[in-house]
Amino acid sequence: MFLSKTFTKEPDIVKRCLRGDRKAQRELYEANAGKFHSLCIRYVKNSMVAEDVMIEGFMKIFEKLPQYEGKGNFEGWMRKIMVTQSLLYLRDNKNLLMEINLDGQENSPAMGVTDHDLNCQDLFQLIAELPVGFRTVFNLYVIEGYSHREIQDMLGISESTSKSQLSRARAALKNRLSKESYQLKETKNHG
């Protein structure tokens, strides 16, 4: 992780990036590219498209770096830019439509994995197969930690729509997990 490995170096890298030091820019990229690429895939689903979105996000980060005041978490600041860039892609390509029902998804083929295969990649795949509206709200609320009010402002939808999308996304994930007979350790631990 960038912050855990080079926490003391962070201000130095930011200063060097501000001076246009290409080596520092590459260091920043290498430290965060995997994480942000994963983030973008969670939103746009397609890996190649997510890579382009991530590159655009890094461009925005380097452009807006002078506006970073050094307050708060630098990684959180960059993550917010990446999320915004992903949402912009979805909006520009008119992919961000809020689904009303889950009929199409409930009839989708099963994943065919067992409980011991459950890992990050499986969960990642489960989210990727959600409809874009469910996936977006679930990502924003559960993974990124935004409130429904913030999601309302970011997506231009009502707060109730955001809650509805989240509820349906959770239901879809539970349905998929139960159908495939996932036995999560966390579920066992919690009863």
Partner 1 sequence: MDDKHLDTLFREKLSNHEIKPSPRAWFKLEQQLAENKKPLWLIWGQYAAGFLLLLGIGIGYQYWNQTPSELGKELITEIAQIQPTAPAPMDTVTVEKASEAPPLFQPALIKPAPSKPAPAYKPSEQVATLPSDPSERLVESLPPADQREVVWTETLAFDLATMPLDIDEIITEIAPQEKEIAYTVKIVSRGYAIAPDKGQLVDGIENKLEKIGGFFTKVDKGFGDLQDAKNDLFVHVMASKKEK
Binding site for partner 1 (CB under 8 A): 1, 20, 22, 25-26, 29-30, 33-35, 37-38, 41-42, 47, 51-52, 54-55, 58-59, 62-63, 119-120, 123-124, 127, 138, 142-143, 145, 170, 173-174, 177, 184, 186-187, 190
Give the nearest distance from C-beta 120 to partner 1 in angstroms: 5
Q: What is the dihedral of CA 48, 141, 62, 128, to 10 degrees?
A: -10
Residue 138 CA, chain-centre distance (Å), reads 9
Q: Give 58 or 74: the residue with its C-beta nearer to partner 1.
A: 58
Q: Give 98 or 169: the residue with its C-beta nearer to partner 1.
A: 169
Give the integer Cα–Cα distance in Å for 171 and 89: 26
- List C-alpha distances in Å: 96 to 108, 116, 125, 130: 20, 34, 19, 12
Q: Give 89 or 138: the residue with its C-beta nearer to partner 1.
A: 138
Give the nearest distance from C-beta 153 to partner 1 in angstroms: 21
Give the integer Cα–Cα distance in Å for 122 and 129: 11
